[in-house]
Amino acid sequence: MASEAPDPDSTLPATIAQPALPDILRAEVERAATYAKASRSAATQRAYAADWKIFTAWCDVRGLESLPATPAAVATFLASEADRGIKANTIGRRLAAIGYHHRQAGIDPPQERSGAGAMFEVLAGIRNSLGTRKERKAPADADALSMMLATIEGDDLRALRDRAVLAIGMAAALRRSELVALWIDDVALPAEGLRVLIGRSKTDQTGEGAVIAIPEGRRIRPKALLLAWINAAIEAARELNNPLITFDEGPLFRRLTRGGALTADPMSDRAVARLVQRCAADAGFDPVDYAGHSLRSGFLTEAARQGASIFKMRDVSRHKSVQVLSDYVRDFEMFRDHAGEKFL
């Protein structure tokens, strides 16, 4: 009688554990979810999380299901937000957040379900009634930034860092998220000034990167202020004698302890916004009018005032469309060679 072929699995050593397929699949699903979250910036994810919390709380009070949510429920929520005085742009973001959290849960969002048309009509009505005009924060142009820099006294580590943050943020027209994402090796020091690699930005989600130039400068002096911070940070790291805290690699702008000691962590984008508002207040401006974006808009405002072309402005700001840049130029030239200047 022929013997049976041996079971292939029985030849494996008993000490080798075979991973369960569900565990492997679960890990892969988690990685996929991580990549899906990376499709939105950290700032957008924070905003969506806050919007989702507001929506779920609204649903809980009314005994409605938030996941999945019906288009009718969402439409009612959007209308109630409008009645609360929430701006139309924020309400539109609330809807995007609801859709985002449904997709993250593997559920068709209300925007893609039957009855979504009525929900979009409600949103259109809100926009028509409230308008969608964006409120611009005041720009930290050359005059304003010079006054803000002058409020930072002393030459300790925090003062040197804060002056460099303001100067580089404005000189490179950076968003605050881009500013805190800079690494030491993103900056090159040619004789003419600085070359800065922006690895990823709001308009460059695929991470292709862009290199921008910053002149040496005679008024703001961004290169000098950055070098002062770098040299001080190197010395501070050397004095700490901690192998985990060095300044030969890693984030360019670091979080400091309450006592002003250097850390290995990057400065947060919220800290940039607080810095801008604090310096604006100390310079005599209303801090409510200023935010982290004031540095970026300050460069564009000053560039338009000095007659820079839209294309040269875009070399620094990296805008995909020239429409936003043309608005800065139009604002400055509104009264220049006005059609009614000779007869009004």
In this prediction, residues 132-151 reach a mean pLDDT of: 84
CATH 1.10.150.130 region(s) of the chain? 33-130
Please state, in angstroms and rounded to a whole number, the distance separating the CA atoms of residues 112 and 125: 19
d(CA 17, CA 341): 86
Q: What is the mean pLDDT of residues 27-53?
A: 69
Chain region(s) in the chain for CATH 1.10.443.10: 142-333
pLDDT value of position 69? 93
pLDDT tens-digit map of 208-259: 678 999 998 889 999 999 999 999 999 999 999 999 999 999 999 999 999 9
Residue range 65-75: mean pLDDT, rounded: 93
Which amino acid appears at position 334 of this protein?
M
Most confident of 3-17, 285-299, 309-323: 285-299
- Closest by CA position to 126, among listed 165, 79, 185: 79
Q: Binning pLDDT at 50, 70 and 90, where does residue 305 land? A: confident
H or E stretch at 61: helix 42-62
As a whole number of angstroms, the distance between CA 29 and CA 24 comes to 9
> Who contacts 327 (Cβ-Cβ below 8 Å, separation ≥6)?
none
Phi/psi of residue 69, nearest 5 degrees: -105, 140
> Tokens 């080798």 appear where?
16
CATH superfamily of 142-333: Intergrase catalytic core (1.10.443.10)
Q: Kindly calculate the radius of gyration of the chain based on its CA atoms and give it in whole angstroms.
A: 26
Query: Where are the strands (E) in 150-227, listed by range?
Result: 187-188, 193-198, 210-215
Least confident window among 12-16, 126-130, 170-174: 12-16
Question: 33-130, superfamily in CATH?
Answer: Tyrosine recombinase, N-terminal domain (1.10.150.130)
Summary mean pLDDT of the chain: 84
Distance, in Å, from the CA atom of 135 to the CA atom of 137, rounded to the nearest integer, reads: 6
Calpha distance 247→240 (Å, rounded): 11
Instruction: Please report the pLDDT score of residue 202 as a whole number.
Output: 53
**pTM (2 d.p.):** 0.65
Q: What is the mean pLDDT of residues 266-293?
A: 92
Percentage with pLDDT > 90 across the chain: 51
Q: Residue 278 has what pLDDT?
A: 94
pLDDT at 193: 93
